[in-house]
């Protein structure tokens, strides 16, 4: 999954693709480089980020999704928790809603996804981005994430979304310290997470938890560290990895896949 931020304040790429034309070109390049999904987001969800009004987020996202969906054969995803934005993106051709809130922030989102027949990514978090760091307290991060994602999966099913349409995301860096994020990457194959019986999406790309290993390196300089995290995620069971540098991480993912297959015999 290639990350296509159409925001002026992205932590990872400095708003490079705020212009719709440039964003579409970047999305096409991601597909050419091997992306299986392009994920378009119009609101920064970095720690401490404020919310963008729905009409502004829709204005950023909708034209990019519409143009990409007409030109690529891979699914286009919209990274939003707002029902209004999701509805506009789905009408424009998106096939996946990537919800960082796990259906917690906007009660109407589940119904929008269910009626559209789209797929849904349910991510684990606690609290909105502006305050989520205050909620990074766990006695057992793996067990608590598993339990809370299980509850969110039940909410999705109650909204009419088939279980088979849902992918889960442990929420690396969301309401988690570096230690929590590393524990989840290292234990993604824990029986409590596997018992949820859904595919896993993991998004470690350029995130601040990587500084625990490499020091105070700015986000664009964390791609080598991202490669290590992507490899670990795949070896421990990730089905989708969400990344900024698609061409390089396609190579990383393919080698990790080969190693995993070799370990399985």
Q: Catalytic site residue 207?
A: yes
> At CA 229, angle to CA 22 and CA 18, rounded to 5?
15
Q: Based on the number of CB atoms within 10 Å of its own CB, is 155 exposed (0-12), middle (13-18) or buried (19 or more)?
A: middle
Judging by DSSP bridges, how do beta strands 76-79 and 119-123 pair with one another? unpaired
Please say if 70 is a catalytic residue: no
Torsion of Cα atoms, 81 then 90 then 22 then 49, to 10°: -10
**Contact of 177 with 202, CB cutoff 8 Å:** no
Output 101-108 pairs: Cβ under 8 A, ≥24 positions apart. 101/125, 101/128, 102/148, 102/149, 102/152, 102/155, 103/152, 103/155, 103/156, 103/159, 104/152, 105/81, 106/81, 106/82, 108/83
DSSP state of 52: P
Residues 126, 207, 222, 245: which is the catalytic one? 207
Q: Which of 242, 254, 260, 263 is catalytic?
A: 242
In Å, what is the CA distance from 230 to each residue of 22, 32, 66, 208, 240?
27, 20, 29, 15, 10
Dump the DSSP string for 80-120. Answer: ---HHHHHHHHHTT--EEEETTSS-S-TTHHHHHHHHT-EE
Query: Which residues are catalytic, by number?
Result: 207, 242
């Amino acid at each position: 999954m290639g990350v296509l931020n159409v925001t002026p304040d992205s932590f990872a790429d400095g708003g490079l693709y705020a212009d719709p034309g440039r964003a579409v070109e970047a999305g096409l390049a991601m597909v050419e480089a091997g992306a299986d999904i392009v994920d378009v987001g119009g609101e920064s969800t970095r720690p401490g980020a404020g919310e963008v009004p729905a009409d502004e987020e829709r204005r950023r996202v909708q034209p990019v999704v519409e143009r990409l969906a007409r030109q690529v054969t891979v699914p286009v995803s919209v990274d939003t928790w707002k029902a209004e934005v999701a509805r506009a993106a789905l009408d424009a051709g998106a096939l996946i809603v990537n919800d960082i809130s796990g259906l917690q922030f906007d009660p109407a989102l589940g119904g929008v996804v269910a009626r559209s027949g789209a797929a849904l990514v349910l991510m684990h978090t606690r609290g909105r981005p502006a305050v989520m760091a205050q909620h990074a307290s766990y006695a057992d991060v793996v067990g608590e994430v598993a339990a809370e994602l299980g509850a969110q999966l039940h909410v999705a099913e109650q909204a009419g979304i088939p279980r088979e349409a849902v992918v889960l995301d442990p929420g690396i860096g969301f309401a988690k310290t570096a230690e929590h994020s590393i524990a989840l990457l290292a234990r993604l194959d824990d029986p409590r997470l596997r018992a949820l019986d859904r595919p896993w999406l993991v998004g470690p790309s350029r995130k601040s938890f990587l500084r625990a290993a490499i020091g105070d390196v700015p986000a664009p300089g964390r791609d080598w560290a991202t490669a290590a995290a992507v490899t670990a995620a795949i070896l421990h069971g990730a089905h989708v990895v969400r990344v900024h540098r698609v061409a390089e991480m396609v190579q990383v993912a393919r080698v990790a896949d080969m190693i995993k297959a070799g370990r399985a015999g």
